[in-house]
Amino acid sequence: MSKESQKGTSQKSSNECLKYSVGADIGKEKFDACISSIDKDQCVKVVATKAFKNCTGGFNEFFKWQQNKCKLSVPVVFAMEATGVYYEQLAWFLHRKEEYLSVILPNKAKKYMQCLGIKSKNDKIDSIGLSRMAAEQRLEPWNAPSESIVELRAITRYRESLQESRTRFNNQLSALKSGEFVSAEIEASLKEMISLLDQQIKQTKKQIEQKLALDERLKRGAEILTEIKGVSSISVATVLAETNCFEMFSNKNQLTSYSGYDVIENQSGNHVGKTKISKKGNAHLRRIMHMPALNVVAYGEPVFVKLYERVFDRTKVKMKGYVAVQRELLCLMYALWKKDEKYDRGYYLRGSKLPAMQS
């Protein structure tokens, strides 16, 4: 083939291919990758698939493989799921190379796969699905968290695990004391563990407060959000750490879905089932919002007291009322942060609604 013919063929291919999309399904030890292309007729074609080790050497091999396969001068989009912490090293690797990367929430990727009618599930199939999703849709780029946010998230999650351990040991101690025969050695050991955990929990509180004080943006956020009576700096730190200072969301519906507070209805024809929250989201957020929701009602914050009473009167279930308060309180924190406004209690006493962002 002549050079002119080769050039014409290359130009034709470039015109037909709109972009490459690279999907990566991340596991602890390895990740599966799939490269797809989409043409002007919106047809998606799998270019190549391969598995790599989830380490620096695997990342370099993956990037070289992607460069060799994506030969045309068209955009390349990378996509992966936010699966625990296993995706983060590859995400930062691509971010430092200034590649277009989108990190997708797991429930969003799952729904997309269901729409395609794919019933089987394995790492390779998931990577193909992510690749196709990135090819067909315009996914939002990943907003990499700052070092302060990453460190703050690590501390708040460590504090959460310490509290869970303390609760477990405390329950064991209570059960031991309720028995007919009590082992003094085991009782002393459990008390010692609980005391050590209490010390570590206090230490994490100091570390969190230091992180908030050293970062001007986080410090300002803590000052704004703790104006709500019943919301502590620990709660604020956890919420900001888990949401990357709300950078992941453009409206409150996205936030409630991410945190698992989105409402699921079960109604069809004459059948009316239970309405409940999905709980398919960030469990760390739901856990930390439990105590502030109790506090704002106990301290008499007017808008939340009215919400709690309204839901309780309708359902006769206290926890449903508190869950509704958790959801609305999280949306309020989001709105105040985005608008950089302090909480004005008198504003709501005059009957105004929460300053929730537009959906």
Percentage of residues in the chain with pLDDT exceeding 90? 64
Does any domain span residue 166? no
What domain range is 101 assigned to?
Answer: 18-136
Does any domain span residue 358? yes
CA–CA dist 106, 217 (Å, integer): 29
CATH number at residue 108: 3.30.420.40
Does any domain span residue 188? no
Does any domain span residue 221? no
Question: What pLDDT is attached to residue 41?
Answer: 87
pLDDT digits (tens, 9 = 90+) for 58-68: 999 999 999 99
CA–CA dist 71, 307 (Å, integer): 57
Final residue of a structural domain among 104, 136, 168: 136
pLDDT digits (tens, 9 = 90+) for 125-163: 999 999 999 999 999 899 888 889 999 999 999 999 999
CA–CA dist 32, 51 (Å, integer): 4
Nearest to 83 by CA among 54, 112, 104: 104
User: Taking 50 as the threshold, does the pLDDT of residue 104 lie above it?
Assistant: yes
- In this structure, how many other beta carbons lie within 10 angstroms of the beta carbon of residue 169? 18
- What band does 12 get if pLDDT is binned at 50, 70 and 90? very low
Does any domain span residue 306? yes
Determine which helix (DSSP H) or strand (DSSP E) holds 50, and give its type and residue range: strand 44-53
Final residue of a structural domain among 85, 107, 136: 136
Q: Which residue has the tokens 């990566």?
A: 24
- The count of domains in the chain is 2
pLDDT digits (tens, 9 = 90+) for 252-263: 988 988 888 887
Does any domain span residue 74? yes
Task: Output DSSP code: residue 105.
Answer: P
DSSP-based three-state secondary structure for 48? strand
- What band does 7 get if pLDDT is binned at 50, 70 and 90? very low
Q: Under a CB-based contact definition with an 8 Å cutoff, are residues 204 and 157 in contact?
A: no
DSSP-based three-state secondary structure for 73? coil
- In this structure, how many other beta carbons lie within 10 angstroms of the beta carbon of residue 348? 18
CA–CA dist 233, 225 (Å, integer): 8
Final residue of a structural domain among 136, 171, 199: 136
Task: Output DSSP code: residue 245.
Answer: T
CA–CA dist 140, 213 (Å, integer): 31
Q: Under a CB-based contact definition with an 8 Å cutoff, are residues 133 and 24 in contact?
A: no
Does any domain span residue 24? yes
Question: What pLDDT is attached to residue 293?
Answer: 96
CA–CA dist 252, 250 (Å, integer): 7
Q: Stretch 105-116: mean pLDDT, rounded?
A: 82
User: Taking 70 as the threshold, does the pLDDT of residue 308 lie above it?
Assistant: yes
- What band does 108 get if pLDDT is binned at 50, 70 and 90? confident
Question: What pLDDT is attached to residue 1?
Answer: 46
